[in-house]
């Protein structure tokens, strides 16, 4: 092989190194493949739009999931009889919010269900927005065992994106929330 042909081959290989990944990515995208980042919650497919779900706060005012302030919503969905174990998990979620530091105000906590009872809930309303709904849109995501709680991460546009089943790891939730509020900035 003479020098001229070798140089052409080298130039063609260099062009192919840059062009082949673009062609592969384009082919995958056109076939509907979308890469998924690592998250600790279970992705809700398809994402549910909760903007139209009727939610009432404990004080009687209405609550909407969508907002224009780029604030994410973490919805606690309690199982029957939220008691000690459930409250402990909710306290860990509040601690996760605190660890977000300056971005903590980019996450609001909503407890959607019958409010817990007893002395252990002192100050609960200062941290969580207590609310109820007549809609059954989230019933399949609510845990069935007593004294348990699952969580739902809702985007600022009101779409339910990630579901954390009962007994979820607060550290995994923290990592997901750090990524979510960072994107919102």
Q: Where are the domains of the chain?
A: 1-35, 42-184
Taking 3-state DSSP, the helix, strand and coil percentages for the chain, each rounded to the nearest 5, stand at 40, 25, 35
Please give the chain's pLDDT, 185 residues, in tens. 788 888 999 999 999 999 999 998 888 878 877 666 678 899 888 889 998 899 999 899 999 998 888 899 999 999 998 888 998 999 999 999 999 989 999 999 999 998 887 676 777 888 999 999 999 999 999 999 999 999 999 999 999 999 999 999 999 999 999 988 876 55
In this structure, the strands spanning 62-63 and 55-57 are antiparallel
d(CA 38, CA 22): 23
User: What's the burial of 69, exposed, middle or buried (CB within 10 Å: 0-12/13-18/19+)?
Assistant: exposed
User: Which residue spans within the chain are E strands per DSSP?
Assistant: 42-49, 55-57, 62-63, 72-78, 107-112, 129-133, 149-154, 159-164
CATH assignment of 42-184, among 3.40.50.150, 3.40.30.10, 3.20.20.100, 1.10.3720.10: 3.40.30.10
Write out the two tokens for 69: 């302030």
CA distances to 31, 54, 112 from 93, rounded to whole Å, are 39, 24, 14
Q: In what order do the strands lie in the sheet with 107-112?
A: 42-49, 159-164, 149-154, 72-78, 107-112, 129-133, 55-57, 62-63
| Model confidence, pTM | 0.78
């Amino acid at each position: 092989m003479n020098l001229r042909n070798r140089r052409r081959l080298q130039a063609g290989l260099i062009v192919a190194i840059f062009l082949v990944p673009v062609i592969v990515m384009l082919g995958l995208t056109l076939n509907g493949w979308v890469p998924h980042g690592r998250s600790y919650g279970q992705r809700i497919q398809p994402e549910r739009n909760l903007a139209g779900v009727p939610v009432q706060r404990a004080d009687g005012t209405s609550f909407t999931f969508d907002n224009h302030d780029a604030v994410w919503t973490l919805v606690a969905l309690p199982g029957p009889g939220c008691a000690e174990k459930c409250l402990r998990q909710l306290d860990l979620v509040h601690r996760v919010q605190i660890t977000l530091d300056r971005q903590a105000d980019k996450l609001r906590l909503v407890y959607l269900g019958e409010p817990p009872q007893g002395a252990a809930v002192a100050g609960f309303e200062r941290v969580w927005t207590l609310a109820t709904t007549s809609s059954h849109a989230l019933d399949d995501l609510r845990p069935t065992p007593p004294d348990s709680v699952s969580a739902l991460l809702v985007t600022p546009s009101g779409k339910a994106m990630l579901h954390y089943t009962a007994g979820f790891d607060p550290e995994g939730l923290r990592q997901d929330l750090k990524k979510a509020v960072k994107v919102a900035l």
